[in-house]
A and B are shown apart, each in its own frame.
Chain A
Amino acid sequence: MIRLGRLSAWSPVRLGLPQLTALGVFALLVIVPIVTQEPYHARVVSNIILTAIMGMAAVLLFGYAGQFSLAYGVLCGIGGYASTYLILNAHAPHFLALLAGAAAAGVVGVIVALPAIRLRGLELALITFAAALAGTAVFAKISGYDGIGGLPKPRIGNVLFASPLEQMGFAAIALILVYVLLKPIVAGRPGRRFLLMKADEATAASVGVRLTYDKLLAFGISSLVLGFVGGIYPLNINYLGPSLFSFDLVILLFFIVFLGGVNRLEGSVIGATVVGLIPVILSGQANLSGIFYGISMLAALVLFRGGGLLALLEWRPRSATSAANPRHPVDRPNLLNEIHVPASVLSGSVRPNAPSAETDTDLLLEARGISKRFGGLRAVEDASFTVHRGEIVGLVGANGAGKSTLLGLLSGYLVPDSGQVLYGGRDLRGLSPAKRAFLGMVRTFQFPVFSNEMTVRENLLVAGESLGKHRTRHENVDDILGLLALQTMGNLRVNQVAFGVQKLLDLGRALCAVPDLLLLDEPAAGLGPAELPFVAATIASLRSDGKAVLLVDHNMAFVMQLADRIVVLDLGRVIAVGSPEAVAKDPRVITAYLSPDDLN
């Protein structure tokens, strides 16, 4: 890995072995036809480059955003048909026609994506599969099944790409253009948001990732790219027909993506090279190509599991990672004495909607009579309570008391049947979890989910990064990692660390989102005796920064020790609110669920 000081770790372009390999393959591809001067070679390479660009669009949508679409071919086709007919009928300049084709595909791509907001996984696959076949039918209506030839040679301004070699150059320029456009996106903020969204949508929303926006963004960008390449393709081969954009192309693209690595833009060059050379090697045996593609794709799915050929180059000797000793977190001597959250770490920019101290003294969250039923089950009924700034409120109750449901209702994952959630005096009705996170209300989950395709630091960076421009910086992430004594883990993958450390990282991620109110779901669950007091101290320190915490946990001693006030739920109803001491003596609470032993 070539590193240019500390900054390079954050710069979008990292030149590692995989990147250099892809660059080498790309250079080799372009040089061979130049040396041989063989038009056939130039055509083969030209097709490889164009499918590599399509592969990049698929990497963005499938590999990063995790959206399973089968409509790649039809979107290429929309670009191809729109731009070709603009050129043939309206004599549009080629570059404008290509852009128009890209725009047309972008618009259709976003329309195709609209169901993706409501549907997921297999249903989306179904819709896009239907769109793929419908597209072929529409294209056949427009140009006939046999397609049309006699297209002009591509021309940008005064430059005419007349020979196959020049057209290959045209394709290569397009690839570089698309790569330069896409790389900062996937290596930057949108890419990190996409990866977290792919790992878990609920988690992504909890730290402010707007799922609808980001899905549409991913579909939009990938469709633009597909439409653009779809326009170049017919010009380069002097033919436009439905067979260019059939379902076979979709299968090829998945093959390219899995061979190159699902989240590697550069990988698609490798994948496309392999895919493009198969028919050349099997020339004359066209019937075999289906079998060959199928077996290779299966092998890529099973062997690389999304990592792709380039992942083989990233193998590092064991000692390189064991230096960080991921399974045995660093010693944390006397942490309890040292713990203090620096105000600078946690203070974000002033929120426009944040309640000011003058209007309402300290009230931050107010639940007013919220109820939720699941069928006949009353999960939460008429629950009312408040949380103030600088206060830690414990929410306790037996299993099934409605604690998790209540957290879901407060944080926007569930919609109450009746009642209001007021945050800083503002009614949160209709606001998504991401929007609530933006207002400063951040929740965690009992089982934290991270993206294993990013480092620990990148995972933390997503939180808050998606909330606003200056809320979280890389230094802040490092500060928070330091606060949790996890600074050595920044460059590890989350699946390399123990569950207890993941719980700490989850707390750290929530802090990165610069919350005013933290809703913590079982922060102590699964923690060992070493981590428990540490988490307790961290949570306690939030109080002095004026943050508010709503704490749900099964560990009664933990909650009783931390909380200023306790809200007791029983069968969905709030049966007691008060100081830990008062609640512990409340006869209703004792009969409902507490045993005196729990309080010691």
Chain B
Amino acid sequence: MSATTEATLPQDPNVRGDVSLDEPVKGREALVRGGHSFHEVTEMVLKVNELPVAKTPNGLKFGIALGGAGFAMFGGYIGYLFWMGPGIWGNNNPVGWAWDIVNFVFWVGIGHAGTLISAILYLFRQKWRTSINRYAEAMTIFAVLAASSCVALHTGRIWMDFYLFPLPNQMGLWPNFRSPLEWDVFAVNTYLFVSLLFWFTGLVPDFATLRDRARVRWRQLFYGMLALGWRGSTRHWVHYEKAYQILAAFSAPLVLSVHTIVSFDFAVSQLPGWHTTIFPPYFVAGAIFSGFAMVQTLMLPARAWLGLKDIVTVKHIENMNKIILLTGTLVGYAYAMEYFVAFYSGNEYEGFTFINRSFGPYSWAYWTMVSCNVISPQLFWFKKIRTSVAWSFVLAFFVNIGMWFERFVITVTSLHRDALVSSWDYFVPVTEVFFLLGTFGLFFFLFLLFVRFFPVIAMAEVKSVMPQANPHWEGYGHGAGHGPGQTAHASAAHGAHS
């Protein structure tokens, strides 16, 4: 068994290793390629983190500088908004919600893939998640930060934002807990907090690795404080794994609830085009779809530049593309079902909204959305395409564009034709493009700093799914055939461990 599996794994980590599945558990492709030892995994993952600050690779330096410039511009833009008010946007009557909310829904949706990977795939025991979960969780946190800055800024009088929170005050006044917008405040903040807790919990053992390998004072202090004195004690792992499991169990329904509540912002209103019961599942599918595309967009370059091809293999890319295909198809079904319901309801306002959406003044946005979101992921039915790094990157990029346009289409086209013709208008953005670029600056600045200083792969988790992590692995000479996970991979590197 071992010899045949080993033979079918190609050397090039960009090529999917198809193994003959004569035995479904054993015959699976190893999650980490190249027969690495635990120590080699540590070295591979921490290579960038442990470079001296002065020796930061130029590409990363440039990226951080560019992201920082975008972030700084965002700060300036917020100051300008603070000074001038939302009149610097193209929002009009009836289009009271435009890019502010479009950007918010776009970013919060992107965050969902991180939680799906870290929580839902964890509960389903999808071990391949370990190679990508850290990356995706970081993406979640920075995306939700970008989203909350959009939604905090969209209120107009941003200095009054504290009214969103139930703070005791001299008027005895509380926020309206029955309002979908208030639900949103709680959902997004809970989501941000829980994602942070989950991310940090996962990072602690890896911070301890960085601390133990640090030879410079500031690194020892910095990672030492973050590692909380972690020493890998089994008595601690017992609590740790239980806590992690509970966080995952709560995050899984949380992630579904967050975008459901975001969709309530629209669906609970009376507006044709928004007032549909399909919105919660449709938004959740779209969120996961856009989030996986963003994970691909970030991960494919990173795995090449950071030398992580043996940990993030084509198997991982293909699995993610399958999820993109599934959720993209769900989104396409939801688009079709919206039309069917508009037709079947016999409501002429509903019908008008949807015909106007595809053939009205914003039809260009609608067809951009359909071609990016419905048509392009269908190419992933072809194995050649979903196992190709270049194709994955290009199609994921299209999905990112398409999902931004989806939110634009939902928000703006539903609003711009009000019930009276006298209340019709066309929305044109004025300075909003800086708003969007600013959130990208915030996101990439934080994300690239994360790549530079924090381990981008959950090392402890990756090691625990390697075949030699199992105490009963056949390479240790306990005799073959008892215990799972004996992925045949008995190379010389592993032999050194037995």
Q: Do A and B come from one complex?
A: no
Binding site for B on A (CB under 8 A): none
List residues of chain B with CB under 8 Å of any chain A CB.
Answer: none
